């Protein structure tokens, strides 16, 4: 089928020139379908063509436009970068200025803090000097007992109320400012500077008993220890101790006479009276103990020519508070989970808290200088062991609360019962002697009435003087408590011996860093040790230690010592002995403490070992690993130093390395132990004990140390943490024993 061609209708256009502009077709109008423009309509005027060509020439290609835009953006970017660099440069300059200003301010503040702590150390030294000059403690109560049992009981009953009242008041004044929710301990050991050279120990502590059921339970455990203390002392210390006599004159008054033979064969005798009171009713249960030595006992006289007399005056209070179990800083995660499980399985009303019984204890111990010949090293051991009976008491009380550690005594006879059988045969003879003594006393009283009036007057005068002295010493104890509180509150402040040390992994840089601070560390050590122990007599041994726990769980120990090495050849010998110990300390600690200790690294910077660093890891008996990373500085000066008048002097100091890129700490595996310590060696001469004509050299080591145990980042039992805290002082004791072995044992000097 053919398709007819489309009909095309041609409509002639008029000339465009003839149409007005408003009648021109719009560009949006579509051409008519089927209408073909004529040739005349295809042609444009010449001027329109020229205008269109000029428009096409001024329009740029898109790639040219993009290139120009890119160049403009690059220029703008460069300008912004220059501006940013200028701002960053200005910020760095401002930061440098601010950092320099802050560093200068921090240095000024550090100097001010160290100056304040040095001044505080001076005040503490003055207080301690006053204590050594007046060794009669305010807790001391003069007790004189006759041979008549009834009269003895009446005498002690008349003293009981005032003794308990004075004990509670003294504990409140001495430990009142301290936070009872944190453990605390301070002890001073010194030699009487005015009397016959007796040894004294003054101690105060705050001990916690976690998980105790009541104050009465701890009260009963303490009473049980006091009635069996000879067994605990014999088992724990190894000193053969017997209860020679015990008179339970009243349920709240007990008189005990104890004999203890040390390992060196010296017999120590103690005649003590203990008063006690328990107020268990009400919301605030309270207990108080007061212990005093008997000064004159007609029934049991002292034997100074055969035994060493030991006097104890102590005051002890028991209170309690409640806290959440999670607030225990030494509680491990396993213990927390176990207690939470017990809480959910037990009483639904349990709020997750525990009872903590607080024992506040203040004591004054005197060891009379023996009137028979005793070797100096034996006296030194007895002086250092003055605090051991107090430690045995606390450990025995804890064991009495722990059912896993209670001793089973079924079928066994106590020492007291055995001695009772032996003493029963002597009772009859003693009664006969007592009867004769009473007759003699009545005779003396009837014939000496004028003398009794004179003695009574003197007694009243002595009582007045004793009251004045007691008030002064109570004020002194309050001042010491304020000092201890200040030390506890400023535990985070930089100690004068503390210096922040950061070491890189590069060996030359490490050496340069340590060498740069050597001179400053030596000078700071000299200044602080001299200031802290300025007012103490270096001719007498001295020891003080303060231990406390911070809110962050860190355990702190501040200790100060004056230690004698009589008969040493020179100051240099003792100085070298300490250097020799520090280079082989892992052997001494392993042998004397039983802790497996390894020297992981030692970096000596010079041939004469005046600057060196050590990294030591020690494993306790409970399996806990402690690590110490310290830098040591040493110098022997004085022979040509005009400031010290040519007297030889040695200085050794140690500072913990805070950050070490080569040997970083491992807090998830080990317990970190920090140490900041300084020791200064000097000497004096004194007459030998045999003859006054000849003299001997006595080398004196003055030592100040600040130890910190960081809270472990892994699970650790309370017993293991308590063992670590208890052995904080042991390393210092090992050092002294090792130095004595080197000085007196003929070991070679270090070069």
pLDDT digits (tens, 9 = 90+) for 41-60: 555 555 555 555 555 556 77
Domain end point (choices 406, 421, 449)? 406
Name which of 681, 687, 651 is nearest 570 in CA terms: 681
| DSSP-derived 3-state class of residue 746 | coil
User: Within 10 A of 266 (CB to CB), how many other CB atoms are there?
Assistant: 19
Q: Do both 45 and 154 map to the same domain?
A: no
Longest Cα–Cα distance of the chain, Å, equals 177
My answer on whether 54 and 143 are in the same domain is no
- Structure-block tokens of residue 641: 């130093």
Give 730's pLDDT tier (boundaries 50, 70, 90): confident
* Mean of the per-residue pLDDT values of the chain: 79
Does residue 317 surpass a pLDDT of 90? yes
> Given the structure tokens 């304040």, which residue do they identify?
116
Strands 659-660 and 240-250: unpaired
Task: Supply the range of the domain harboring residue 333.
Answer: 135-344+351-406
517 and 609 together in one domain: yes
- pTM exceeds 0.85, yes or no: no
Domain at 637, CATH number: 3.30.530.20
User: Are 503 and 617 within one domain?
Assistant: yes
The answer to whether residue 481 sits within a structural domain is no
Domain's final residue, options 34, 58, 82: 58
Residues 171 and 45 occupy one common structural domain: no
Task: For residue range 187-221, list pLDDT tens digits in order.
Answer: 888 887 666 778 889 889 999 998 788 999 999 99
**What would the mean pLDDT of 445-467 be, rounded to a whole number?**
59
Lowest mean pLDDT, pick from 152-166, 203-217, 361-375, 603-617: 603-617
pLDDT the model gives residue 16: 44
Residue-wise pLDDT tens digits, 234-251 = 988 888 899 888 887 677
CA separation for the pair 372, 284 (Å, rounded): 50
State yes or no: pLDDT of 636 exceeds 60. yes
Same domain, residue pair 52 and 141: no
Q: Over the Cα atoms of the chain, what is R_g?
A: 43
**Range name among 39-53, 599-613, 659-673 with the lowest pLDDT average:** 39-53
577 with 680, same domain: the answer is: yes
Is 436 within a domain?
no
Q: What is the pLDDT of residue 291?
A: 94
pLDDT higher than 80, residue 739: yes
CA distance 442 to 289: 35
In a domain, residue 231? The reply is yes
CB 203 within 8 A of CB 363: yes
Q: Hey, what's the torsion of the CAs at 173, 175, 178, 183, to 10 degrees?
A: -170
70-120 pLDDT, tens digit each? 888 988 888 999 998 889 888 888 888 877 777 777 777 767 766 766 666
Do 53 and 182 lie in one domain? The reply is no
pLDDT at 442: 57
Q: Are residues 568 and 717 in the same domain?
A: yes
51 and 144 share a domain? Answer: no
398-400-405-411 Cα dihedral, nearest 10 degrees: 160
In sign, the C-alpha dihedral spanning 553, 554, 557, 558 is negative
pLDDT at 615: 93
Q: Which of the given ranges, 55-59, 298-302, 435-439, 444-448, has the highest pLDDT on average? A: 298-302
pLDDT at residue 748 greater than cutoff 60: no
Retrieve residue 539's tokens.
Answer: 């001719």
71 within domain boundaries: no
Q: Which of 25, 40, 58 is the last residue of a domain?
A: 58
Task: Examine residue 467 and state whether it is found in any structural domain, yes or no.
Answer: no
**pLDDT tier at 567 (50, 70, 90 boundaries)?**
confident
pLDDT in tens, 241-285: 998 888 876 778 899 999 999 888 899 999 999 999 998 877 789
pLDDT of 348 > 80? The answer is no
Is 70 exceeded by the pLDDT of residue 522?
yes
Rounded Cα distance between 653 and 644, Å, is: 19
For residues 694 and 310, which has the higher predicted lDDT (pLDDT)?
Answer: 310
**What's the number of domains the chain is made of?**
3
Which carries the bigger pLDDT value, residue 169 or residue 52? Answer: 169
pLDDT band at 643 (very low <50, low <70, confident <90, very high): low
450 φ/ψ angles, rounded to the nearest 5 degrees? -60, -40
Residue 427: Cβ-neighbour burial (10 angstroms; 0-12, 13-18, 19+) = exposed
Q: Residue 322 domain-assigned?
A: yes
Q: Is residue 53 part of a domain?
A: yes
286 with 318: CB under 8 angstroms? yes
The pLDDT of residue 65 is 85
Whose tokens are 């892994």? That residue is 714
Query: What pLDDT shows up at residue 311?
Result: 94
Tell whether 700 and 606 lie within a shared domain: yes
- 669 three-class SS: coil
The answer to whether residues 386 and 530 belong to one domain is: no
Task: Output phi, psi for 265, to 5 deg.
Answer: 90, 5
Is residue 188 included in any domain, yes or no?
yes
Q: Which of 599, 677, 666 is nearest to 631 (CA)?
A: 677
């Amino acid at each position: 089928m053919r398709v007819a061609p489309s009909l095309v209708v041609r409509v002639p256009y008029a000339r465009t020139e003839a149409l007005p502009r408003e009648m021109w077709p719009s560009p949006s109008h579509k051409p008519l379908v089927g209408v073909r423009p004529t040739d005349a309509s295809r042609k444009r005027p010449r001027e329109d063509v020229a205008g269109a060509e000029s428009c096409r020439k001024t329009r740029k290609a898109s790639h040219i436009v993009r290139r120009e835009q890119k160049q403009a953006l690059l220029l703008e970017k460069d300008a912004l970068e220059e501006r940013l660099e200028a701002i960053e440069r200005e910020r760095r300059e401002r930061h440098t200025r601010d950092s320099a200003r802050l560093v200068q301010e921090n240095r000024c503040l550090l100097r001010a803090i160290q100056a304040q702590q040095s001044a505080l150390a001076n005040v503490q030294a003055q207080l301690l000097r006053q204590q050594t000059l007046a060794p009669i403690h305010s807790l001391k109560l003069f007790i004189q007992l006759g041979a008549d049992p009834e009269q003895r009981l009446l005498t002690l009953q008349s003293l009981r109320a005032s003794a308990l009242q004075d004990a509670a008041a003294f504990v409140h004044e001495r430990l009142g400012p301290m936070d009872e929710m944190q453990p605390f301990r301070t002890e001073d050991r010194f030699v009487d500077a005015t009397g016959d050279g007796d040894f004294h120990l003054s101690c105060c502590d705050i001990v916690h008993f976690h998980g105790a059921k009541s104050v009465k339970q701890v009260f009963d455990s303490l009473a049980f220890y006091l009635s069996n203390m000879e067994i605990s002392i014999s088992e724990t210390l190894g000193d053969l101790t017997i209860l020679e006599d015990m008179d339970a004159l009243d349920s709240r008054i007990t008189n005990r006479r104890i004999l203890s033979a040390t390992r060196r064969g010296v017999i120590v005798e103690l005649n003590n009276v203990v008063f006690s009171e328990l107020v268990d009713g009400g919301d605030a249960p309270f207990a108080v103990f007061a212990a005093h030595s008997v000064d004159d006992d007609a029934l049991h006289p002292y034997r100074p020519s055969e035994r060493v007399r030991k006097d104890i005056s102590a005051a002890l209070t028991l209170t309690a508070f409640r806290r959440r179990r999670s607030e225990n800083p030494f509680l491990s995660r396993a213990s927390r989970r176990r207690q939470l499980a017990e809480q959910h399985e037990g009483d639904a009303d349990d709020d997750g808290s525990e009872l903590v019984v607080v024992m506040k204890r203040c004591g004054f111990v005197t060891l009379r200088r023996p009137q028979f010949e005793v070797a100096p090293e034996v006296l030194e051991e007895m002086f250092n062991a003055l605090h051991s009976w107090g430690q045995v008491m606390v450990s025995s009380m804890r064991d009495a609360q722990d059912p896993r550690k209670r001793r089973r005594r079924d079928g066994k006879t106590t020492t007291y019962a055995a001695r009772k059988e032996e003493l029963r045969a002597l009772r009859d003879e003693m009664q006969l002697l007592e009867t004769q003594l009473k007759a003699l006393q009545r005779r003396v009283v009837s014939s000496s009435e004028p003398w009794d009036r004179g003695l009574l007057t003197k007694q009243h005068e002595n009582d007045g003087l004793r009251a004045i002295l007691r008030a002064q010493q109570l004020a002194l104890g309050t001042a010491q408590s304020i000092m201890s509180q200040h030390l506890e509150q400023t535990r985070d402040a930089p100690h004068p011996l503390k210096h922040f040390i950061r070491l890189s992994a590069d060996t030359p840089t490490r050496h340069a860093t340590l060498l740069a601070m050597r001179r400053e560390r030596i000078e700071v050590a000299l200044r602080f040790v001299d200031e802290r122990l300025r007012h103490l007599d270096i001719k007498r041994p001295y020891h003080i230690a303060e231990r406390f726990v911070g809110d962050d769980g860190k355990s702190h120990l501040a200790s100060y010592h004056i230690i004698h090495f009589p008969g040493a050849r020179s100051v240099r010998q003792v100085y070298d002995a300490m250097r020799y110990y520090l280079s082989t300390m892992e052997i001494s600690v392993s042998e004397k403490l039983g802790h497996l200790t390894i020297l992981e690294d030692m970096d000596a910077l010079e041939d004469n070992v005046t600057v060196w660093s050590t990294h030591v890891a020690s494993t306790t008996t409970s399996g806990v690993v402690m690590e110490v990373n310290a830098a040591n500085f040493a110098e022997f000066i004085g022979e040509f130093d005009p400031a010290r008048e040519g007297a030889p002097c040695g200085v050794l100091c140690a500072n913990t390395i805070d950050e070490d890129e080569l040997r970083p700490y491992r807090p998830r595996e080990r317990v970190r132990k920090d140490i900041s310590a300084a020791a200064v060696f000097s000497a004096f001469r004194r007459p030998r004990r045999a003859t006054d004509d000849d003299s001997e050299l006595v080398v004196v080591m003055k030592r100040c140390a600040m130890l910190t145990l960081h809270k472990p980042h892994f699970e650790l039992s309370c017993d293991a943490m308590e063992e670590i805290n208890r052995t904080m002082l042991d390393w210092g004791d090992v050092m002294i024993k090792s130095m004595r072995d080197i000085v007196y044992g003929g070991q070679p000097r270090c070069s």
